[in-house]
Structure 1
Amino acid sequence: MDKRRIVQILSASFTNGYIIGFLKGKIYTGNLKKICVPGLNCYSCPGALGSCPIGSLQAVIGSMMHKFSFYILGFITTIGILFGRLICGWVCPFGLIQDLLNKIPSPKIRIVKGDKFLKYLKYVILIMFVILLPMVLADELGMSDPYFCKYICPVGTLEGGIPLVLMNEPLKSTIGLLYTWKVTLLVITIILSILIYRPFCRYVCPLGAMYSIFNPISFYKFKIDKDKCTECGLCTKKCKINIEVYKKPNSPECIRCGECKNACPQKAIKSGIIK
């Protein structure tokens, strides 16, 4: 098992380490829930010890008491400036799930038609479903739905919705059209993840969209040693997201998995806190 996979497993285990929640089918509501975790991880997961930054951001925007949170945006900005999308590649639990699903033997779609347009969809989702809709569509009490979590996010369905329904008999009677819709989205995401490397991260995730903005300027970055690089293209062939690493090592789409670095025969790709 490689180092990245070990870090992913440890991160997922720590983030969802409330074992009692899984045993009793209850959500942890202690003080740790006041703290955001770096990756996308559902608040309603029985094992979740912290809060999802996207869910928290929506809750604040859609609340009659608050319209802006310096803490949440400050947290996301700090993580982004320090690490960029390294969080996506090494820490996010749903990133690990997609990685494992993609290992299932099947025909793989390496080149996604419309990729150059689809990669901007996550920014549209961020602006529309995470920010604008909760801000604009408030009820008479000044409260708004968490639109991304409620209508789109498959992470909440997998980590929260399904386990809670299975472990709580009264919840089964509440299953309706919305639950069916969310399960359908989850199934589609699972199938696509088997065929395509990290489709949710690449095209849907609003947290990935926020971190991607910081990739070119984050402290942790990739750097190409021009004296060693022969532009052989092996880094691009190894990259499952088809980034031309030797041309754009800090692309907003890069999740810092390090596969390109390991594949470079000239050892021309460096990574870390680089000036």
Structure 2
Amino acid sequence: MDKRNIPVLARFRGWIQAAAALLTNIHLPNFLQGKLYQGGGKAVCVPGLNCYSCPGAAGACPIGAFQAVVGSSKFRFSYYITGILILLGVLLGRFICGFLCPFGWFQELLHKIPSPKLSTKRLKPLRYVKYAVLLIMVVLLPVLVTNELGMGDPFFCKYLCPQGVLEGALPLAAVNSGIRAALGALFTWKAAVLLTVIVCSVLFYRPFCKWLCPLGAFYALLNRVSLFQMQVDTHKCVSCGACAKACKMDVDITKNPNHAECIRCGMCMKACPTDAICYRYGLGDKTQTTDKGETI
């Protein structure tokens, strides 16, 4: 297919992911110094899953920040962070997962490692686990399970999130002997979670995103109403099924162009022989169009 017909976003997605990961963790000297950036940028949440404790992190993780607030003794809900997440979800939906999330990009790089690749189509029920993680580990447990001071643990960050070990514990421990000496059973558990995700990512496409990520679950809830959508021109579509075969998120875009699992990666566009699929941005659900079908 002529590359000129592929939208620029889809064509250069890998470069955009790399740039987003770099900008999210722009304070690179901190990796060598073993310290965290603590400037004003940490008061703002980045859009993707990125650990606050990463030495290079330019902002806060939205999930970690939310848990820090709801687990405090003074507050039980974070309107500020929830508002930011709703705004990002409405503006971009799971485009954030496909283009702006550092941990999503990390999983994709792992999946490029030569090995047998396994399909997740028969594992679709597991995609609902991430909603349970969002509700139980991110929202309910920090509020309901508290200590004598009325403070709750950030259960997802503390017990499940592999990004914290990858970006936080490992880089800091590598240059700080005090942190290395303090590592214990919890680090061992989290390292095992990270190792499991790494192995699964080599075999499956984005397993953490599909099955466990609460941030992806939140954006998925807004995917259908987000301003950034996928559009299928039914006049051009020849029902060949190439797009469904190309989709690694197990979505048939011709049946549900703005499915909750669609990360707007553009693989369906690259596979379509008639250029029937494009991006659109704006109000309203116009997934079936005339022959205009403009792309960005």
TM-score band w.r.t. shorter chain: over 0.9
Q: Deviations over 1:15-69 (max 9, x none)?
A: 1011231120001111110000000000000000100000001001100122122
In structure 2, which of residues 130, 140, 145 is the aligned counterpart of residue 137 of structure 1?
145
Q: Which amino acid aligns with 1:79?
A: L
Q: Please give the secondary structure, in 2, of the residue aligned with 1:119.
A: helix
Correspondence for 1:192: 200
2:238 is the alignment partner of 1:238: no
Alpha-carbon displacement from aligned partner over 1:127-164 (angstroms, at most 9, x marks no partner) = 01000000001111111110000000000110001111
Residue 169 of structure 1: which of 145, 161, 177 is its match? 177
**Percent of aligned pairs with the same amino acid:** 49
Match of 1:248 among 245, 256, 261: 256
Match of 2:273 in 1: 265
Q: How many residues align?
A: 274
Residue in 1 aligned with 2:50?
Answer: 41
Mapped to 2, the partners of 1:92 and 1:79 lie a distance apart of 13
Q: Aligned to 1:197, what secondary structure does the other structure show? A: coil
**Residue identity in the other structure for 1:36:** C
Which secondary structure state, in structure 1, belongs to the residue aligned with residue 229 of structure 2? strand
**TM-score normalised according to structure 1 size:** 0.97
- The structure-2 alpha-carbon separation of the partners of 1:85 and 1:164, relative to structure 1 and needing over 3 Å to count, comes to same
Identify the residue that residue 179 of structure 1 maps to in structure 2: 187
d(CA) in 1 for partners of 2:179, 2:169 = 10
- Give the C-alpha shift of residue 111 in structure 1: 3.4
- Counterparts in 2 of 1:22-33, with a 5 A limit? 22-33=31-42
Whether the aligned pair in 1 keeps the contact of 2:121 and 2:250 (CA below 8 Å) is no
Q: Which residue of 2 aligns with 1:97?
A: 106
Q: Are 2:231 and 1:223 aligned?
A: yes
CA distance in 1, matches of 2:141, 2:161: 15
* Match of residue 56 from structure 1: 65
Query: How far does residue 272 in structure 1 lie from its aligned partner after superposition?
Result: 2.3
Quote the Cα distance in structure 2 between the aligned partners of 1:236 and 1:205: 23
Asked if 1:86 corresponds to 2:107, the answer is: no
| 1:175 Cα deviation from its structure 2 partner | 1.5
Tell me the equivalent position of 1:146: 154
Do structure 1's residue 214 and structure 2's residue 237 form an aligned pair? no
Deviations 1:80-110 (A, max 9, x none): 0011000000000001101100000000002
Amino acid in the other structure paired with 1:256: R
Q: CA deviation at 1:263?
A: 1.1
Unpaired runs of at least 5, structure 1: none
CA distance in 1, matches of 2:203, 2:132: 24
Matched, 1:6 2:15: yes
3-state SS in 2 of match to 1:207: helix
CA distance in 1, matches of 2:31, 2:182: 20
Q: Distance in 2 between matches of 1:23 and 1:196?
A: 33
Q: What is the RMSD of the two structures over their aligned residues, measured on CA atoms?
A: 1.2
Q: Which consecutive residues of structure 2, in runs of 5 or more, have no partner in the other structure? A: 1-9, 285-296
After TM superposition, the runs of 4+ consecutive aligned structure 1 residues lying more than 4 A away are none
Q: Could you say what secondary structure the match of 2:42 adopts?
A: helix
